[in-house]
Structure 1
Amino acid sequence: MGTSAVILFKSGESVEINILLPRLNELCNREGLFHSHDLKKIDETEKLKYCEFCISDVPMKDSYDRQLCFGIADEPYPYKLVNFDWDSSEEDYFKTVVSGEFDGNEDILFKFLFAFLNEFPVAKVWIEEDWFYTLDDLKKIKASYNNSWCYMSPKDII
């Protein structure tokens, strides 16, 4: 199994999926990213609870290698609440957006996450290590971009 990136909001503060999807469409259009969404799950009241959202920097039909897909969930959703023993805030976070394996597409991931955190600056990004990335961290990374950014602690990025 590969590494995934997770966009977190404090529990109870995530963006409702019906609001998030149109904003993601606008964000991708602004950033020049191709996008689509599919695999929708609704609850018993017909409310959207989950979907898959895919992005690419080339037309989707042209290259499957340049696609990056995310699962987007509406809070509450089973097994999407998490806390970290290394996080001194002791907050519970909701995993609102979770990427699939991104190896080889670190640049697309960064472009998407940078735009996302500019749109929702209270969100944090967790990439399966003992740290988060914030918007300020991503701004520093952008200033001296390195394709290995997502494998380095924000403390090590100057």
Structure 2
Amino acid sequence: MYNYFKKVFLVVIIVANGIVLNAQDYKQQDEILGTWISENKDLKVEIYKKEDKYFGKIIWFLCDPKTPNMSDFKDTENPEPKLRHRPWLGMEVVEGLMFNGDNIWGNGTIYDPNTGRTYSSVVTLKDNNTLVVRGYWGIELLGKNMIFYRVVPSGK
């Protein structure tokens, strides 16, 4: 009888531990949500969640002095002609990221409106306020990193 209770107790501990770990993973997976500004301070992206995937849209960028209004920038380099008139402002540029654990989100894409190219993407939360976004074509080794910093709302 003692062995039975010992086994039941062990199962309860294992299940409870799994629930705690899943709750921690669930909290951790949403750590990239929010507004981020590029290292060069020329682009702000809002990361948000749809169902179980993460997306990002442009919410601000530094304009060319010749074209001072963000609303005047269009997706002119897009390979699909029907999309060439959509504005950069509000454009979804990060799509379909999935939480892989250990502060890594992958299996997504990142779109560069400057070139009209879409790259595979992996995002790493280096620390609470630093996001490393890697865009690559083919293999991750042949990619480029972009650093973003969390924009902390005033009053926090």
Tell me which interval the TM-score lies in, with the shorter structure as reference length: 0.3 to 0.5
Q: Tell me the TM-score normalised to structure 1 length.
A: 0.34
Structure with greater proportional strand content: 2
TM-score norm. by structure 2 comes to 0.35
Higher helix proportion (structure 1 or 2): 1
Larger RCO: 1 or 2 (CA < 8 Å, sep 6+): 1
